[in-house]
Structure 1
Amino acid sequence: MSETDTSKVVVVGGGPAGLTAAYELQKLSKKHTPVVFEGSDLVGGISRTESNKGYRFDIGGHRFFTKVTEVEAMWHEVLGDDFITRPRQSRIYYRGRFFDYPLKIFNALSNIGPYETVRILVSYLKWQIRPYRKEESFEEWVINRFGGRLYMHFFRSYTEKVWGIDPKEIRADWAAQRIKNLSLFKAVWNAISGANDTASLIEEFQYPRLGPGMMWERCAELVEKQGGEVQMRSAVVKVHRDGMRVTGVDVKRWAEDGTDLGTELVEGDEFVNTMALRDLILAFDPPPPPHVVEAANKLRYRDFLIVTLVLNQADPFPDNWIYIHSPQVKVGRIQNFSAWSPEMVPDPNTASIGMEYFCQEGDGLWTMTDEELRALASKELDELGLASADTVIDAAIIRQPKAYPVYDGEYQDVLKVLKEWIVSLENFQTVGRNGLHRYNNQDHSMLSAMYAARNIVGANHDVWEVNVERSYHEEFELKKEDDSDTQQNVAAA
């Protein structure tokens, strides 16, 4: 490319990873023009903010907390003073009682009782003496750190509810990624001493005052202001390649009223993908070798839906969210959106409560009508003693396919096959949670996208290694590379 040439960078998906790739690329080079294609009406992916009659709500809560300084810097470059700092308050509901989370020792002991407390401690000591020597499953990883008794009480039922499969089928690296650096000993010590160096248990976090979608709406505006494009209701349905070079994508478009506007071939010089890996592999034309397609078809996902209830009373509970471990109800987690930001609720005399259900597309929960889901969520809110079903005056339902990549027994072998083929493409990278089939937090998805943008301008980062060897985002430290003041590496602390 000559000094006067510019290249078009096609970005598939307008979630955190896709928009970060476009934003970062514009910071690094004026010779690359990003064009982002988003199939829905809203940017942000699962970090978008939906709204219903002035009530704003998340697709699950999204805390803004990281020690990846370049991600932190981007958040504040984009939103500035529109961030607010919020206290974290959350609890676990189990056996008809609410347990403070993080653990508070007297609350926990009074709820569990002295007899069961002794049994939990004996179980913990037993597994410290004779642990599983090789941790292959989520169950084995947790039992080695918390004992079998506590695993049975607090981990098994919730994990089964979230993933819909036996915890024995979930790989240990999911636990290592999400809850590393926590054990029963550390949890008790934190409760007694007030210390807390565990990533998932931070006591306050930042949050956009109008929800996480505000971040990505503003980011999309900045990308367009700098000469890029963010095209909505434009879904990439096919990826064309000539040998190992991608040449263009087919983009299917819709009008606001749902009218099909047809499909257009869009050519590009570089490509960054964030769509789910399984869908990506099946979208290639010509298709990859049969063994690659076979591998992609083995990837599994967990879907999600949220029933947001509007109550004719102010906040019925103070928590940001509550984990529901009880198998007697289907709801898995409950959000109180005004506890995230008061501006999420237009009338302070009302409340907006998000009832979250983990499911599979096409199953009984997924196919329930909106009226049935409203009735179910209202009934379960009442059964949990959080608010009377009679206080519900409105509801909005959002169904989110492929919310969580599943870490089953096959996924690691599958990813090796897919990575080997994808990295052989000359001008194509895949990033983000679904683009890497990795249960990343938002900041890690963003970091993989930053690396992709830097690779386009000459760096050589392996986007697949973000959040693999390092377990959780607070354990990162950043070191500048010697060869460039615009490129940075992430190294294990």
Structure 2
Amino acid sequence: MDTSESAGAPFDLVVIGAGPAGLTAAEEAQRRGWRPLVLEANSQVGGISRTVRWRGNHIDIGGHRFFTNDARVLQRWQEWTGGRMREVPRLSRILYRRKFYAYPLNLCDVLLNFGLIDLARAGASYACSLARPIRPEVSFADWVSNRFGHFLFRRFFKSYTEKVWGISCDRLRADWAAQRIAGMSLPVAVLNALGRGRGARSLADRFLYPALGPGSLWEAVADRVVAAGGELRLEERVVGIAHRDRRVVSVETEAAGGTRRMLPVQRLVTTMPLGDLIAALDPPAPAAVRAAAAALRHRDFLVVALSVARPELFPDNWLYIHDEGYQVGRIQNAGNWSPQLVGSSGTSLILMEYFCSRGDALWNQDDAALVRLAAGELAGLGFADTCEITDGHVIRELNAYPVYDETYRSHLDIIRTYLEPFGNLSPAGRSGLHRYNNQDHAMLSGMAAVDVLAGVPGTSAWDVNIARSHHEEQVVAS
């Protein structure tokens, strides 16, 4: 069934996607007096920052800290939550061969856990990196090896990173490291051990967090947008975007049950993956642009939530699992983020994160097999007996991580060059910009997208979080 709305655009802004970037853009538009329509393909707002309810538990997909050095973002969080967010101390460690290492690396842990031979190898390797640094510094392997030596790169970075991305560290670009773990190096670890370091810039030691998970905040923002006169349509997917003379004129959507609508567009913010955006354009983009969009890759992942009949398993918010013998990449302990995430007293909610790609062997396992795998790995790591694991639930997340492979930048440049002349379209968000953004960066891109469409000079959502440094050096938490 096909329907169409009135020829004159009834909304000042159409937003594709109700994640952090899209909802922030809609709320920002209302501050300008615009009426937004938000279209979300899923049944729940929040995107990858949504909170999934399961048997009284609240599952945060991926673990979403709230930290920022931007006063506007902090002000929005406080306004949207009425100032009611927990301040949570961060504790995260690396688990490697049954030994714990602080993250960022701390010299004391290395000295305690390494034998003399490994210490000598690490020292010699780092000396080599100082004497003969890799130039040019192109890959993730280059970036880390130059700062820690190749021995520590292989011990503490290679396995986990390749679990996450599914490609060799030689193929992952240094851009990712420079944005995510800037400031980390062996000298920093030494200074931290001596109490004289500032720590890595990418690692805030405290963060804000909503008691019922990040999705509760984004649900509040969605309610706010609707209460102020905006509209939110869930389970309505954009399947076509018509344009003329470098302006979007309408979007075609498909709702549950197959109903299609044609919606006129005055302005458009899109957070859909760039590959999907380019594929939806009518008339089609040039062949080179379509090829570039098709070449952009995402990494998907699975969360296996386990209910464990023991209240305290480990003190960390999360653990990085670097052992090659385990498929799990990261383990979240939900109760250490907020006790209110855990549905039953005397139990733990453990979130086992598996990085994969749709269609691969891990993705294709059924839910029962994935729960068995996760339970077996949690027990194998020594955190719980299998008899204590009473229940499990699987969440599958597509397009979780934009991949920074060896070709992504050239493809992204082609797409950006094609899209920028569109006078009433602005991409935003992690998938919309193909950039590994945090929540605050996603929000800033949503704000910038609205500024672009309002004609504010010198603004671009593409320029949010592009510096080869991460944005956590000064964390505003109160």
Give me the TM-score of the superposition, normalised by structure 2.
0.95
Q: What does 1:339-488 align with in structure 2 at a 5 Å threshold?
A: 339-460=336-457, 461-475=459-473
In structure 1, C-alpha distance between the alignment counterparts of 2:226 and 2:301, rounded to whole Å: 31
Query: Is the deviation greater in 204-213 or in 458-467?
Result: 458-467
1:132 to 124, 131, 134: 134
Percent identity, aligned pairs only, is: 46
Aligned residue type for 1:436: L
Other structure's SS at 1:205 match: strand
Residues 413-467 of structure 1 show CA distances to partners (whole Å, capped at 9, x for unaligned) of 1011000111111110101100000111111111111011122222030211111
Matched, 1:243 2:245: yes
Letter paired with 2:330: R
Residue 196 of structure 1 deviates from its aligned partner by: 2.8
**Structure 1 runs not aligned, ≥5 long:** 255-259, 479-493
Deviation (angstroms), 1:344: 0.3
8 Å contact kept, 2:183–2:202: no
What is the deviation of 1:200?
2.6
Q: 1:245-271: per-residue Cα shift (whole Å, max 9, x none)?
A: 1011111112xxxxx151111112000
Other-structure match for 1:9:
13
Give the letter aligned to residue 407 of structure 1.
Answer: Y
CA–CA separation in structure 2 for the residues paired with 1:201 and 1:469: 17
Give the Å deviation of 1:98: 1.7
Among residues 122, 125, 133, which one is paired with 1:123 in the alignment?
125
Q: Secondary structure at the match of 1:168?
A: coil
Q: Does 1:268 align with 2:265?
A: yes
Tell me if 1:230 matches 2:228: no
Deviations 1:470-490 (A, max 9, x none): 521125899xxxxxxxxxxxx
1:378/1:146 Cα in 2 relative to 1: closer, same or farther (>3 Å)?
A: same
Cα contact 2:271–2:431 (8 A) shared by 1? yes
| Unaligned 5+ runs, structure 2 | 1-8
Matched, 1:315 2:312: yes
Contact kept, 8 Å, 1:316 with 1:387, in 2: the verdict is yes
1:331 maps to what in 2?
Answer: 328
Q: Distance in 2 between matches of 1:80 and 1:209?
A: 13
Q: Using the alignment, how far apart are the partners of 1:477 and 1:457 within structure 2?
A: 30
Equivalent of 1:68 in 64, 67, 70: 70
2:94 to 81, 92, 97: 92
- Alignment-derived partner of residue 483 in structure 1: none
Distance 2:255 2:226 in 1: 19
Partners of 1:188 and 1:146 lie apart in 2 by 11
Contact 2:188 2:199 in 1 (8 A): no
- Alignment check: 8 A CA contact 1:68 1:476 kept: no
| 3-state SS of 1:76 partner | helix
C-alpha separation between the residues in 1 aligned to 2:126 and 2:202?
22
**Cα distance between partner residues in 1 of 2:201 and 2:188:** 13
Mark the CA change 1:474 to 1:107 in structure 2 (over 3 Å): closer, same or farther.
Answer: closer
2:171 aligned with 1:173, yes or no?
A: no
Contact 1:23 1:223 in 2 (8 A): yes
CA deviations 1:299-342 (Å, max 9, x no partner) are 11111010000011212111110000001010000000010000
CA distance in 1, matches of 2:416, 2:71: 28
Which amino acid is the alignment partner of residue 445 of structure 1? A
On the 8 A contact 1:315/1:336 being kept in 2, the answer is no
Question: What is the deviation of 1:390?
Answer: 1.2
Structure 1 residues 315 and 46, CA gap change in structure 2 (3 angstroms) = same
Shift of 1:7: 5.1
Structure number with higher relative contact order (C-alpha < 8 Å, ≥ 6 residues apart): 2
- Is the Cα contact below 8 Å between 1:21 and 1:450 reproduced in 2? yes
Q: 1:26 to 1:329 in 2, by over 3 A?
A: same
Q: For 1:144-163, what per-residue CA distance to the aligned partner results, in whole angstroms no more than 9, with x for missing partners?
A: 11111100101111111111
Q: Cα offset for 1:81?
A: 3.1
Once the two structures are TM-superposed, the CA of residue 278 in structure 1 deviates from its matched residue by 0.6
User: Aligned residue pairs: how many?
Assistant: 467
For 1:171 and 1:24, the matched residues in 2 are separated by 33
Matched, 1:22 2:26: yes
Letter in 2 for 1:24: E
What is the distance in 2 between the residues matched to 1:354 and 1:197? 27
**Alignment correspondent of 2:143:** 141
Residue 6 of structure 2 corresponds to none
Q: Report the Cα offset of residue 17 of structure 1.
A: 0.3
Q: 1:287 is matched with which residue? A: 284
Aligned-residue offset at 1:42: 1.1
Aligned-CA RMSD value: 1.6
- Equivalences for 1:43-62 in 2 at 5 Å? 43-62=45-64
Q: Secondary structure at the match of 2:194?
A: helix
Following superposition, the deviation at residue 216 of structure 1 comes to 0.3
Is contact 1:100–1:108 with CA below 8 Å preserved after alignment?
no
Question: In the alignment, residue 466 of structure 1 is paired with which amino acid?
Answer: V
Deviations 1:89-145 (A, max 9, x none): 111111221222234443331112233122212211210111012101111111111
SS at match of 1:414: helix
Instruction: Supply the AA of the counterpart residue of 2:303.
Output: I
Indicate conservation of the 8 Å contact 1:68/1:473, yes or no: no
Query: Which segment drifts farther, 104-113 or 285-294?
Result: 104-113
Distance 2:133 2:111 in 1: 25
The offset of 1:24, in angstroms, is 1.1
